[in-house]
A and B are shown apart, each in its own frame.
Chain A
C-alpha cells in the first residue's frame, strides 16, 4: 500500500552542492507534481508532468530541473543549492487534472541548505 514514496526524507546540503530528490508512485497515475511548502505560504508548484517523457514549469521553477523518464518516477534536481531553497518538498500524483481528481502526496523531503 505504498502510494507515493519520496526519498530521501531529510537532507542537509551546503550552498552550491547539487542533489536529486526521487519520487515514485505505484498507482499508475499519469500526472505528477513537485511542490515546495514554506511557513505561512501555500504549496507552490515547482514543475509538473502530464505523462512519461513530458515536463512543464510551474509557479516557481527557477533553480530546479525535473525528469520523467519512467511513468512511475519523477525526479527533482537542484543544480546549485541556495539557502532560499531550504523548504519541505512534496511530490504528488493524480490520475487526471485538478477537476474532480484529488492529488495523492508523498510524506515530503525536508531539505536544509547551509
Chain B
C-alpha cells in the first residue's frame, strides 16, 4: 500500500529553527510537495522536490532523499504566523498526489 508518515504535532519557539520530517512508501515517485495549511483555511503550496538535495526558499527549505524515501521541511527564524499544519504529499507513478495527515506546528513566544 501507499503510505506517508509525518509527526502529528510539534512545538517550537519563536525565532528558533524546526525540522518537520516526512517518510513515504509509494508506488512510484514523481516528486514531493510541501503545503502549509492554517486552521480553517485552504492548503497553500510551499515547495517541490523531485531530485535529491536541498531546495531553499527564503526562511523555508525542503530536502529530499529518494533512496531513503525521506524528506524534511526546515523552517528558520520562526514567526508566530508559522503556526499551521504542514502537509507532505508525493506524486505516485500515476501522477496522483498521495497526502500525509499533516504536522501541526505550534509556535510559542
Residues in B whose Cβ lies below 8 Å from that of A108:
41-42
CB of B95 within 8 A of CB of A90, answer no
Which A88-106 residues sit within 8 Å CB-CB of chain B? 90, 97-100, 102-106
Give the contacts of B65-100 with A (CB-CB under 8 A). 87, 89, 91, 95-100
Give Cα A98 to B89, complex, Å. 10
Instruction: Return the CB mask of A27-52 against B: 1 if under 8 Å, else 0.
Output: 00000000000001111110000000
Question: At the interface, yes or no: A107 with Cβ under 8 Å from chain B?
Answer: yes
Name A96's closest neighbour in chain B (CB-CB).
B95
Please report the C-alpha to C-alpha distance between residue A44 and residue B97 in the assembled complex, in whole angstroms: 9
Chain B contacts for A43, CB-based, 8 A: 43, 87, 89, 97, 99
Binds A, one of B10-18, B44-52, B56-64: B44-52
Q: Which residues of B contact A97 (CB under 8 A)?
A: 91, 95
Q: Is the CB of A42 within 8 A of B98?
A: yes
Beta-carbon contact of A98 and B97 below 8 Å: yes
Tell me the interface secondary structure of chain A in the complex: loop
Number of A interface residues in the complex (CB < 8 A): 20
A99 touching B50 by the CB < 8 A rule?
Answer: yes
Query: Are A98's CB and B95's CB within 8 A?
Result: yes
Contacts of A44 in B (CB 8 A): 99
Within the complex, what minimum Cβ distance (angstroms) separates B46 from chain A?
9
Interface residues of B (CB under 8 A from A): 4, 8, 30-31, 33, 41-45, 48, 50, 87, 89, 91, 95-102
A residues at B contact (CB < 8 Å): 4, 40-45, 58, 90, 97-100, 102-108
